[in-house]
Structure 1
Amino acid sequence: MQTVVTAKLKLNTTPEQFKALRTTQLAYRDSLNYVSQYAFAHGKMSNAVRLQDATYEEIRLRFHLPSQMACSVPRQVGASYKTLWTKVKNNAVHRKEGKTKKRYKGLDKAPTFISPTLTYQYKKDYTFKKEQQVSILTLEGRVIVPYTGYNKHVALIQRGAEIGASKLWYDKPKKQFYLLVSLAIETADPTPETHKQVAGVDVGMRYLAVTATMQGDCTFHSGKQIVPKANHSARLRKHLQKKGTRSATRRLVAISGRERRLKQNTNHVVSKRIVLQHPQSLIGLEHLTDIRERTKRRKGKNAKQRKANRTFSKWSFAELHSMIAYKALLHRSMAIKVDANSTSQACPKCGHTCKENRPNKGLLFVCQNCQYTLHADLVGARNIAMRTLLLRQDWRGTGLLSVRAFCVGR
């Protein structure tokens, strides 16, 4: 089995190399916007082959991109339009089912690409050299740049790991270029014999994650120190958006970056703790597709409704799940998705399920049938662990895992 990790390499450029990379980045972004406008004007086209046939020559002439980059641009735009079309179709289904009244407006105008991050194809646009150097293609030809990075990632590159595409990312505040390289790492194929332990992970806002095992062990990963910071950022953002000045806009950009880094770092720490606590285990995660639509509050006063919706959609649970998944594979474990329906309302002792099991939707779980009492988030984690155990037993009996393993790499 393969898992994909991303190596972040710091490029130590000279002033001439810096200028060449920056010029290439901006030309790539301008070509993305050109192809996006063309796709929108021709029926919001998402077919990458047709986009390339129609725009390749113009990209080469107008933006002077090398041939491989000129091929990457239509593919990236086509993928973006496919994603938007998927959201439009899902929104139409949700409106028909009465789950939402809002119409998705992502395709009302041509998508604009703001970030100058560009994509490089391995052995075509960039290659690695000896002595920690990388050869990168620019508008003015190739430049050979020394790099530094995390020792384990550098060792994987030098030992001949399977290298994929990369992205040239520019950190504007630090005025520093980074090369984000995808590395495919071979991991041992999981079997029921190697994954004997089972753990369930319940995510939430009061506690970012609660884990439980079939032996009764549990761990609470609190968000007590993180949530107030996120709330403070939300208040600042609301105040600055009302001002609307240029300085306020600059502060909004800085706040958004700080909040994103805070969440990412917290997810990294929590996911690492969970994986290290459960080696060679089958880790069950909730299948949280359309979680924002399903948890959206539709009753109550407008101010309270907006505050509740903002609270429920505040944290990046998908990112936390993806981090647990790829870290688990690196530590000889595996994460799978299980049904999330009624995990916090079902009694793990007698199976009785009803909303009244959680009085006032609080932290206390009280079964209305057998009076079993426990922390509500721990009940959710135990139910997930039991559903994971059922999947493992079925896997052991049939030799096939009945759900698709969630092993998305970063």
Structure 2
Amino acid sequence: MRVTISAKLKLRHSPEQKAKLDAVSLAYRDALNFASEEAFKLDKTSSAPKLHAVTYKPLREKFGLGAQLACTVERQVAASYKTQWTKLKQNIKSREKGFTKKRYKGLDSAPKFVSRTLEYQYQRDYSWKKDGRVSIGTLDGRLVLEFDGHQKHLDYIQQGCETGAAKLYYQKSRKQYFLIVALNIELPDPQPTDHKNVVGVDVGQRYHFVATDKDGKSLFEKGAATGQRKDQFARTRKSLQRKGTRSATRRLVAVSGRERRFVADRNHVLSKMLLTRFPGSIFGLEDLTNIRDRTEGRSNPKASKKARKAKRRRSQWSFAELQTMLAYKAPLHGSLAVRVDANYTSQACHKCGHVSKDNRPGAGLEFVCEVCGHRGHADRVASVNIGLRTMLVRQDWMSTGVLSVRPDVSDVEVKAARLSRYAELRWNPDTSLAL
């Protein structure tokens, strides 16, 4: 099993070496903007070969980029336009379904690149030296630099693990360059017998997550404090946006970066908390693809202040980042993460199987089954249902030898058959499934 992790290496550069890194990073950024303008003129093309025919020679001559960096610029711009086209198509579908009235404007003008971040290809633009240093390309040849980083990542590099592409990243506040390298780690293929515990994880806003294992032990993590901190960031942004001065704009950029780092750090802490509390487990995660399009409905310009605040909080809900961090960290901690269908997890009673919206009076946190009268915390009920579905995934894995880590939602009939199987699941800790 191959796991890819990112190693952030701090480069030890002198002022003279930093000047060379400045030159190549600024030239790369200008080349991206040039190629973006050319792609816009070519009917907003997302084809790298078409872009190559027009921009390769100017990228080499005008910006002084090497052959590999010039090709990387073309591919990056083409990928950016492909993303914009995908978002436009999604927006058209959402407008047809009435989910939103806003028109996507990402392709009204050529996408602009502002970050001084460039991509290096291993053995072409950068390589490792035997003495523990790294050689990276600039406009004036190679620079050989020493670097610092997390000791575990340094050990992987020293052991000669497979290395992928890298990004040269400039942190303006510290005037420091970092090399972010993709490391491919080989781990033993997971087996169902390696994981004795099954944990269902329900993510939300009032509670970052509620996790319940096969023995009924639950872990709640409230999100009130984080929500208040995000509200504070929102108030600061609103105040700066009203000012509109140049200094306010600079401050706005700094605040947005601080908020982004705060959310990422919080999700790192939450994912590690789950992995240390439930070691060696299979974690079941809800497949929440397009959850906002399915739940938010039409935009309402006359919405109340409370409704607008709730919508803003939903838009800032970083469940995908939390799930991604948990998924990539799990194999490194001897665990595994799989996705299951999210349908009716908080509306289904795990005691009798009855499914109804009315099982959650007022869509609150209390769950009361209309049929059997079972009461409980709605998010805990959801985590139990997710855990049951994860147990079913594990049983299928043991019987077929094939692990489905993500449900196939493209086939309606297949999904309906899975939901029918879920409806037959029941929870009883006294007769819990032997793992």
Q: What interval of TM-score do these two structures reach, taking the shorter chain for normalisation?
A: over 0.9
- Measure how far apart 1:138 and its partner are: 0.4
Aligned-partner Cα distance in 2 for 1:352–1:107? 47
Q: Please say if 1:246 is aligned against 2:263.
A: no
Query: 1:80 is matched with which residue?
Result: 80
Q: Give the length in aligned residue pairs.
A: 406
- Measure how far apart 1:405 and its partner are: 8.7
Q: Please say if 1:268 is aligned against 2:268.
A: yes
Cα offsets for 1:218-260 (capped at 9, x unmatched): 1012223211111110011111111101121122112111111
Partner amino acid, structure 1, of 2:398: R
Cα offsets for 1:95-149 (capped at 9, x unmatched): 2222222222211111111111000011110111133311110011111111011
**Unpaired runs of at least 5, structure 1:** none
Partner amino acid, structure 2, of 1:67: A
Partner amino acid, structure 1, of 2:60: R
**Unpaired runs of at least 5, structure 2:** 409-435
- Measure how far apart 1:303 and its partner are: 2.7
Q: Please say if 1:380 is aligned against 2:368.
A: no
Query: 1:389 is matched with which residue?
Result: 391
Aligned-partner Cα distance in 1 for 2:394–2:18? 52
Aligned-partner Cα distance in 1 for 2:137–2:167? 12
Q: Identity rate of aligned residues, in percent? A: 54
Instruction: Give the structure-1-normalised TM-score.
Output: 0.96
Query: 1:317 is matched with which residue?
Result: 319
**Aligned pairs for 1:352-371 within 5 A:** 352-371=354-373
Instruction: Say if 1:132 and 1:148, in contact at 8 Å, map to a contact too.
Output: no
Instruction: Say if 1:118 and 1:169, in contact at 8 Å, map to a contact too.
Output: yes
Q: Please say if 1:164 is aligned against 2:157.
A: no
Question: Matched residue of 2:402: which SS?
Answer: coil
Cα 1:126–1:72 change in 2 (3 A) is same
Query: 1:143 is matched with which residue?
Result: 143
Query: 1:210 is matched with which residue?
Result: 210
Instruction: Say if 1:334 and 1:405, in contact at 8 Å, map to a contact too.
Output: no
Instruction: Say if 1:195 and 1:281, in contact at 8 Å, map to a contact too.
Output: yes
Instruction: Say if 2:51 and 2:74, in contact at 8 Å, map to a contact too.
Output: yes
Aligned-partner Cα distance in 1 for 2:20–2:175? 14
Instruction: Say if 1:336 and 1:405, in contact at 8 Å, map to a contact too.
Output: no
- Measure how far apart 1:370 and its partner are: 1.4
- Measure how far apart 1:400 and its partner are: 1.7
Partner amino acid, structure 2, of 1:141: G
Instruction: Say if 2:337 and 2:405, in contact at 8 Å, map to a contact too.
Output: no
Instruction: Say if 1:133 and 1:145, in contact at 8 Å, map to a contact too.
Output: yes
Q: Please say if 1:28 is aligned against 2:28.
A: yes
Query: 2:418 is matched with which residue?
Result: none
Q: Which moved more, 1:264-273 or 1:293-302?
A: 293-302
Aligned-partner Cα distance in 2 for 1:202–1:150? 31
**Aligned pairs for 1:8-407 within 5 A:** 8-296=8-296, 298=298, 301-404=303-406
Cα offsets for 1:260-306 (capped at 9, x unmatched): 11111110011011112222322111111112222325467243332
Aligned-partner Cα distance in 1 for 2:113–2:407? 33
Partner amino acid, structure 2, of 1:392: R
Aligned-partner Cα distance in 1 for 2:303–2:227? 23
Instruction: Say if 1:84 and 1:107, in contact at 8 Å, map to a contact too.
Output: yes
Aligned-partner Cα distance in 1 for 2:323–2:281? 15
Aligned-partner Cα distance in 2 for 1:180–1:232? 31
Question: Matched residue of 1:63: which SS?
Answer: coil
Aligned-partner Cα distance in 1 for 2:342–2:165? 34
Question: Matched residue of 2:192: which SS?
Answer: coil
Instruction: Give the structure-2-normalised TM-score.
Output: 0.90
- Measure how far apart 1:403 and its partner are: 4.3
